[in-house]
């Protein structure tokens, strides 16, 4: 069904290709999707709030109605366990229903009316009105690590629909079957709600051509992206170079610093160490909130934290990553850290027992080394973390000021740390 080659999904737990074959899209498919989206925009933006809310709720129900086929396909394509994917489906449906509630409630439009003041001096005031309006068709790029909640009908798509924007999704190549199931659920909702078909399109494509063409298309007015820094920055570059630049809302690359403050370490170093390893290895370290960097003042309490973490990590099983590409990038990032003269390996998890498994890794370096080498703050996506040993709290602040913007930061502190 595409003009640019064919591809299949792979089961990362076995390394085997999955049926069926998918057709990759190219410039022709981008052109068609954008033309349809642009043609649908005026009608979709003029839908009433109730109709738009009902559409979002229909999408949610249609996703649930796929039943277990959705879960088993997503399990095969991502290596994620059933409970995790069932939870993610609940979150996805919950997001769609939440946006339906918000749409129906209506205050998000921030309608504001400043009535005319014909008698105002020195000049009369006209009737002034202000409200939010939809931007136009939105391109959404799904993430590999949340095949439902940050993918075809994830939060970006739900919010664009809620605002009255048609959506063109570039499906992630790692879970095309999951994407197609969800895409058909959205498509059916578009039809049953009487909306123009261009309100939603789903494209697949190998390589970067299709994504670049999509972001460059003048009918696309905003981009939602969740994924790698390289991919996100490339799309931001395309968007900024358009004759009419458009916003790219990108979530990418966070190492989520954890600050272990002295009093907290003194009172609960072992518990913090065990908790850290549980957080580090959860979901093969593929959550966007994974703790990639720890900051602490050197002390015997910190040694207790490290000992507890090393012990916990030593018994931690390797687990399957989402794709062979992500797994290869993890291994290469870990090897780079392990090979750095400034970095010491504190512990590794249990050895791998199958394809695409990641062996967790815990490293340390000094604050001085970190401040001298900006590459040490590059994200290694997966269960790898770097402890920065600081001579004092001032050095922790200096390291913190050098960090890039982050999705999360965690302060482990007790009353005496305030």
Nearest distance, CB of residue 17 and its own copies, angstroms: 36
SS3 349: coil
Instruction: Give dist(CA 182, CA 116) in Å, integer.
Output: 49
Q: Which is nearer to its own copies, 6 or 404 (CB)?
A: 404
> Residue numbers of the site for its own copies (CB under 8 A)?
236-237, 240, 243-245, 404-405
In the residue annotation, 193 being an active-site residue is answered as: no
Q: Which is nearer to its own copies, 175 or 219 (CB)?
A: 219
Q: Which is nearer to its own copies, 5 or 245 (CB)?
A: 245
Instruction: Give dist(CA 71, CA 214) in Å, integer.
Output: 29
Instruction: Give dist(CA 44, CA 160) in Å, integer.
Output: 11
Q: What is the DSSP letter of 203?
A: E
Handedness of CA 382, 144, 329, 18 (dihedral sign): positive
Q: Which of 29, 165, 180, 288 is catalytic?
A: 288
In the residue annotation, 251 being an active-site residue is answered as: yes
Instruction: Give dist(CA 137, CA 56) in Å, integer.
Output: 17
Nearest distance, CB of residue 237 and its own copies, angstroms: 8
Pull the structure tokens for residue 93: 């449906």
All residues at 6 or more sequence positions from 172 whose CB lies less than 8 Å from its CB, including other chains = 141, 142, 143, 144, 147, 151, 179, 227
Side-chain half-sphere CA neighbours of 330 within 13 A:
25
All residues at 6 or more sequence positions from 81 whose CB lies less than 8 Å from its CB, including other chains = 75
Q: Which is nearer to its own copies, 172 or 268 (CB)?
A: 268
Nearest distance, CB of residue 31 and its own copies, angstroms: 17
Q: Which is nearer to its own copies, 320 or 377 (CB)?
A: 377
Contact 148, 92 (CB under 8 A): yes
Nearest distance, CB of residue 226 and its own copies, angstroms: 18
Nearest distance, CB of residue 118 and its own copies, angstroms: 18
Task: Tell the residue number behind the tokens 């202000």, with chain if given.
Answer: 130
Q: Which of 251, 270, 311, 368 is catalytic?
A: 251
Q: Which is nearer to its own copies, 122 or 300 (CB)?
A: 122
All residues at 6 or more sequence positions from 400 whose CB lies less than 8 Å from its CB, including other chains = 257, 259, 295
Q: What is the DSSP letter of 126?
A: P
Q: Which residues are catalytic?
A: 251, 288
């Amino acid at each position: 069904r595409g003009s640019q080659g064919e591809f299949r999904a792979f089961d990362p737990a076995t390394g085997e290709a999955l049926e069926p074959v998918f057709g990759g899209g190219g410039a022709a498919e981008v052109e068609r999707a954008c033309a349809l989206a642009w043609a649908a925009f005026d009608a979709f933006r003029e839908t009433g709030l109730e109709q738009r809310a009902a559409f979002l709720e229909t999408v949610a129900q249609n996703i649930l109605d796929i039943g277990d086929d959705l879960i088993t396909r997503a399990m095969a394509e991502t290596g994620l366990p059933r409970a995790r994917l069932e939870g993610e489906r609940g979150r996805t449906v919950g997001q769609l229903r939440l946006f339906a509630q918000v749409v129906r409630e209506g205050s998000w439009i921030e309608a504001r009316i400043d009535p005319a003041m014909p008698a105002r001096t020195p000049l009369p005031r006209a009737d002034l009105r202000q409200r939010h309006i939809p931007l136009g068709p939105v391109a959404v790029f799904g993430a590999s690590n949340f095949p439902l909640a940050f993918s075809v009908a994830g939060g970006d798509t739900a919010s664009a629909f809620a605002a009255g924007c048609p959506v063109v999704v570039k499906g992630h190549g790692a879970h095309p079957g999951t994407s197609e199931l969800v895409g058909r659920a959205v498509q059916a909702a578009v039809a049953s709600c009487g909306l123009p078909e261009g309100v939603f399109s789903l494209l697949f494509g190998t390589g970067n051509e299709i994504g670049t063409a999509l972001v460059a298309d003048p009918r696309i007015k905003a981009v939602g992206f969740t994924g790698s820094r390289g991919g996100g920055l490339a799309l931001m570059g395309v968007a900024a170079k358009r004759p009419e630049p458009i916003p790219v809302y990108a979530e990418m690359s966070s190492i989520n610093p954890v600050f272990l403050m002295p009093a907290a370490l003194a009172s609960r170093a072992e518990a913090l160490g065990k908790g850290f390893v549980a957080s580090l290895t959860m979901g093969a370290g593929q959550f966007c909130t994974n703790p990639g960097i720890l900051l602490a003042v050197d002390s015997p309490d910190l040694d207790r934290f490290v000992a507890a973490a090393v012990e916990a990590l030593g018994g931690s099983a390797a687990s399957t990553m989402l794709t062979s590409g992500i797994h290869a990038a993890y291994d290469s990032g870990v090897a780079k850290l392990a090979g750095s003269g400034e970095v010491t390996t504190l512990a590794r998890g249990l050895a791998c027992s199958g394809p695409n498994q990641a062996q967790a890794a815990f490293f340390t370096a000094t604050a001085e080394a970190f401040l001298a080498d900006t590459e040490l703050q590059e994200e290694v996506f997966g269960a790898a973390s770097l402890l920065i040993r600081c001579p004092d709290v001032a050095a922790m602040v200096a390291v913190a000021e050098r960090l890039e913007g982050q999705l999360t930061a965690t302060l482990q502190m007790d009353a005496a740390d305030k």
